[in-house]
Amino acid sequence: MTESNEVVRIAALSELIAWAARRERLSEDRADAVAAAWRTGTRNVAELARLARVSRDTVYADLAARAIDIGSREQVISGPQKGRGIPLTGDAVRTVARIADAVALPAFTHDPDDPLVRATLAASRALETVADVLEPPSDQGPGWTPRETLPSLADEGEKLAHHSRRALAALAEPAELAASSDSYRQAVLHTGRHAVADGASITLTLPTGEPITLQVGRDETGWTRLTSDSPLVVDGADSLDHLEAQAALQTLARIATRHLTEAALAEHRKDAQPGTCPRTRTLDAG
């Protein structure tokens, strides 16, 4: 067997082992879900089997694995009190993360550059990080405090936003994206409580150590303009540039708004923003 074939064989076996591990985790998650449904009042095995898309024997096995005696009539229906909800827990989020991971990883192997696949993977990683923030692992050494893991959550959020914009940039026409940005600008200003960033001047330090200045702004249609006096910068923006530049300007505007005095703001407006259609309702004359 050649070395390349051996690499392929090991990769295939690794995927098989990972699939088995995912199936085992999902079976455990299913048993938890079946038990939770039973304890909260769903006592029909056929209905549980239909909803879980498994056999009745599997439901019986899941209930038995969770120490539920289906022959007992004294089991009290349990569950959170109405309206109070339940607190977020690491175990609950980790369960969702495992399910997301079981979907994201095979899709990533199939098409690692698909923006929606990458967004799904980032969402999966973000859920895993939330679980670590809520309940830091105790068996993996130092470095797992919330202060150390929350930056990773922010990073995964940035990846999710980036790949979502990649997907949008591939689908929407530039004129549509420009109009959407212009509409967002008008809507934010219309509230009277938030400023908008129409442009920014950025000082860049290049890898060569040379500083240059880049101007980010909008043209009359709402499309992003990137300009510089430096010959090292190529003017113009594509759809992804536009979406990410506008997102960056929105972030800068939110920061700036937090530092404005009340004199810079206006009364909160409740009338319809410019360019929106009024809501109408047709009543039956009869």
* Predicted confidence (pLDDT) per residue in 68-82, tens digit: 888 775 665 555 444
Q: Which pairs with CB-CB distance under 8 Å and at least 24 residues apart come from 48-55?
A: 54/30
Amino acid (one-letter) located at 163:
H
| DSSP state for residue 278 in the 8-state scheme | P
Q: Which residue has the tokens 């929350």?
A: 150
Q: What pLDDT does residue 56 have? A: 92
224 contacts: CB under 8 Å, gap ≥ 6? 181, 216, 217, 218, 237, 241, 242, 245, 246
Q: Read off the pLDDT of residues 126-178 as tens digits, 9 standing for 90 and up.
A: 999 999 999 998 888 888 999 999 999 999 999 999 999 999 999 999 999 99
Q: What pLDDT does residue 79 have? A: 52
Q: How many CB atoms lie within 10 A of CB 227?
A: 14
What pTM, to 2 d.p., does this model score?
0.68
How far apart, in whole angstroms, are the C-alpha atoms of residue 67 and residue 35? 9
User: DSSP of 199-246, one letter per residue?
Assistant: -EEEEEE-TTS-EEEEEEEE-TTS-EEEE-SSTTS-----HHHHHHHH
